[in-house]
Structure 1
Amino acid sequence: MISFFRNKTIPLADQWSKLQEAAIQLKDDISMEQVIHGNSMSWYEERPYTNLLISLGEKVCQDELDLDCTYPTDQIWYVDLQEVESTDLYTQLAERLVAMTGGELNMTHIRSCLDHEHSNVMFSFLHHGERMEWDIQYYSEWVDKSFFDRIIKLNRQRGDEREFVYMTLGQHLLIAYIDPQQFKTLNKIVEPKFNVWKL
């Protein structure tokens, strides 16, 4: 029997228009063509808005030889919690979160070492000039999720109207740095919904 109740297809252009209404913006030197390059239109229609946000949260490159790939926006980040090969993983994670705040989160001279041979993690940084060292739990296949909690707690001390929110997608997190109105607007259209970090 043919169903008369099919999901309505939402064109990609309409999805992007709605995200722009939620004040999601591309960096000046990035185009939407670069963001969606390599993906089919049907993929964006399978899970409207959410799959487009995933693309907005991944790095884009000018071409295959481009080593200077960049994120199309600092409002969204799609992070793989099982990508733990890099020894400076926690530096990369922290620097990305700092970038999402526009550098307002005062973490500098970030240093880390993920040592798989000795099963430990070193992490240090300067916060307003004061050296801080954190004990990070070592996991051989996963990022220590409490690491995000600690940085977000540190950022909340600034009293910014915007805050980090997240959506869990399997082994990935889709993280946004947005204000309450954006949070409300996005959660009217995305599935699953964004959640406020509970610390």
Structure 2
Amino acid sequence: MKIPDHKAYRLLEKYNITTAKHVFVEDLKEAREAAGKLSTPVVLKIDSPKIVHKSTAGCIQFVYSAGELDAKYNLLIRNASRKTKEVDGVIVQELIDGQEFMIGSKIDEQFDAVICFGLGGIHVEALRDVAFRLIPIKKADAEQLIDDTRAGTILKSRSRVLKTLLNASRLVEKEGVSEMDINPLIVNDKAAIAADVRIMK
């Protein structure tokens, strides 16, 4: 079962994984208020248990100015309604610049939990630059995860990603997560930031 995205962000924060600034809203008025607090540009994301691939469903909309917000919000809702009636709300989120990586987890064929790391964003499927380790991991395992990928050669903030990998491993182990996808994990000079997350239990 996919847990609501706004609750998935709370779960990341519980385990000290930094998330992009965001507000969960349930209508257009709240979306306007949230965008005003975060300041444009922002991204709007549908929060629905039935929509996993939000981009291909048109359920992610970028808002570059306040004047675009109403039209983009309404488009988001229309696109979601074509897929499902089960919509929890919308996440209004800040846009962040930085390198894009991913951290994921799943249960393998032997029913062991594994964690993975690699290039994120649009590069995941195209390059398949991913390394795996059994959960739980220690610092040495996290180091090896990074070293086993091409992503590790361009990573600019290794210590922040190491901490995030260890915290993600602990989350999966303690919370009974069957599948998790943090993609992208935005890494810049300030932090390693989860900009999107999907968690299955």
In the superposition, the TM-score normalised over structure 2's length comes to 0.30
Decide which structure has the larger Cα Rg and report it.
1
Higher relative contact order (CA 8 A, sep 6+): 2
Greater share of residues in helix: 2
In the superposition, the TM-score normalised over structure 1's length comes to 0.30
